[in-house]
């Protein structure tokens, strides 16, 4: 087979320059390359590891690289992350005199704020949403009938250097996973309990879909799931994917699983955005599934999963499924997945599922109760998502 995916680690910008960007989200390949160069220059001033509890204790004033209305709409649960800090929002008086800054989302919308941070030579850190996010995806926010509360994130993770999806910079999370830290027996048991709780409750990144067996389920045969993703999504673009990578991934799934049922799982946001597999005819016999069943039910009806960098790859690991990765998601490279990229010394040690869960959910994530807008435990966040899904489906009905 022709050269598959050139490794992205450390060379994201050069790969991005060769990609054809058509959507306005990226402006141009040159814009994206310069944008990521700016972002790297800012975050590489930071140490590899930051104790954010200590930092937020010291910092009297925290500047957010979003306008105030952004923190009360899309990122509604952002403010409770900083209960003891004075918050100043982008372009408000006093914003330029904060003790620390946080950027939420590193796309082109952050360019104006990042240029200001760079000029001030100010410390800036990353906040991103985690694998457990909300009841409904943000794309449904276009429906004015759906209350904004259904879009509130239950968890965020702070990082000194990078979002976990951008492999061009080694994130604090990746560094911590690759460290010599060994989790205790109690931490391992807690991780196992929470993994089982998430899977048994059929929780995923988004949780507005009914829990039911998918239509493609064929228990007597091997089923291989190929995960679609939003077309030219910023996280996918920064990982070096283009249309050909997704089609090559599908071909690998077909070639490596003769006689299996091949199912392409469309992205949940297929209504408002193109996806990679919605743009081209699929080979004969491949099923394109837009089944509205929840992600865990879909994964439990599958034997193997092929993904570029989707969250569903991580969820598949929690479900005990065989996972093949073609990008550099944070859960790849630790001995749990069958990876097409080479990670070398970037991810040099093996980690168990419980260890990865501990670093991502228990050590890194900060959970917020959307009802009280206060910090909470992961168990409370799980309760909220379970109850929220039930309320959502009662209020808006079961999709068909």
Predicted confidence (pLDDT) at residue 211 exceeds the cutoff of 90:
yes
Of 385, 371, 369, 353, residue with least CA distance to 204: 385
221 versus 350: the higher-pLDDT residue is 350
- pTM equals 0.89
Please report which helix (H) or strand (E) contains residue 305, including its range. Answer: strand 304-307
Picking from 47-51, 276-280, 301-305, which range would have the lowest pLDDT averaged per residue?
A: 276-280
**Which of 13-17, 45-49, 138-142 has the highest average model confidence (pLDDT)?**
45-49
Comparing CA positions, the residue from 318, 301, 303 lying closest to residue 199 is 318
Give residue 270's pLDDT. 56
CB burial of residue 2 (10 Å; 0-12, 13-18, 19+) = exposed
- Lookup: tokens for 352: 């168990």
Listed in sequence order, the DSSP H helices in the chain are 12-17, 29-43, 52-58, 68-71, 111-120, 172-177, 185-200, 234-238, 243-256, 295-300, 311-318, 353-357, 378-396
Residues 6+ apart with CB under 8 A from 146: 136, 140, 396
Mean pLDDT of the chain: 87
Predicted confidence band of residue 398 (pLDDT cuts 50, 70, 90): confident
Which pLDDT belongs to residue 272?
54
Are the C-beta atoms of 164 and 333 separated by less than 8 Å?
no
Domains identified in the chain and CATH numbers: 207-346 (3.40.50)
Classify 101 as helix, strand or coil.
strand
pLDDT in tens, 27-76: 467 777 888 899 999 999 999 999 999 999 999 999 999 888 766 555 56
**pLDDT by residue (tens digit) across 180-204?**
999 999 999 999 999 999 999 999 9
- What is the DSSP code (8-state) at residue 320? T
Tokens of 192: 């196992």
Q: pLDDT higher for 16 or 110?
A: 110
Residue 236 banded pLDDT, cuts 50, 70, 90: confident
């Amino acid at each position: 087979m022709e050269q598959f995916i050139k490794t992205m680690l450390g060379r994201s910008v050069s790969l991005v320059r060769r990609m054809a960007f058509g959507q306005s989200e990226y402006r141009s390949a040159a814009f994206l390359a310069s944008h990521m160069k700016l972002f790297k220059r800012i975050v590489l001033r930071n140490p590899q590891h930051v104790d954010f509890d200590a930092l937020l204790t010291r910092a009297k004033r925290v500047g957010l690289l979003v306008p105030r209305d952004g923190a009360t709409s899309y990122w509604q649960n952002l403010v409770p992350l900083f209960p003891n800090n004075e918050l100043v929002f982008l372009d408000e008086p006093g914003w330029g005199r904060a003790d620390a800054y946080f950027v939420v989302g590193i796309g082109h919308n952050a360019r104006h704020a990042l240029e200001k941070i760079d000029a001030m030579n100010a410390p800036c850190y990353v906040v991103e949403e985690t694998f457990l996010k909300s009841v409904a995806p943000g794309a449904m926010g276009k429906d004015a009938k759906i209350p904004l509360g259904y879009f509130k994130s239950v968890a965020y993770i702070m990082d000194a250097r990078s979002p976990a999806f951008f492999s061009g910079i080694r994130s604090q999370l990746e560094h911590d996973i690759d460290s010599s830290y060994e989790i205790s027996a109690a931490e391992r048991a807690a991780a196992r309990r929470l993994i089982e709780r998430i899977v048994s409750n059929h929780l995923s990144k988004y949780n507005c879909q009914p829990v039911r067996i998918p239509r493609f389920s064929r228990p007597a045969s091997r089923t291989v799931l190929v995960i679609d993703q939003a077309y030219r999504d910023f996280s996918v673009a920064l990982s070096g994917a283009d249309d050909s990578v997704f089609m090559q991934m599908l071909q690998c799934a077909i070639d490596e699983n003769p006689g299996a049922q091949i199912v392409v799982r469309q992205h949940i946001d297929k209504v408002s955005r193109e996806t990679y597999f919605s743009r081209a005819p699929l080979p004969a016999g491949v099923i394109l599934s837009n089944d509205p069943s929840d992600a865990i039910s879909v994964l439990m009806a599958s034997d193997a999963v092929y993904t570029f960098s989707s969250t569903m790859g991580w969820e598949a690991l929690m479900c005990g499924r065989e996972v093949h990765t073609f990008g550099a998601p944070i859960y790849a490279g630790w001995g749990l997945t069958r990876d097409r990229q080479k990670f070398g010394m970037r991810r040099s040690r093996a980690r168990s599922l419980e260890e990865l869960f501990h670093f991502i959910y228990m050590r890194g994530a900060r959970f917020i109760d959307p009802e009280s807008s206060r910090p909470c435990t992961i168990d409370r966040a799980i309760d909220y998502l379970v109850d929220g899904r039930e309320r959502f489906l009662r209020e808006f009905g079961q999709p068909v």
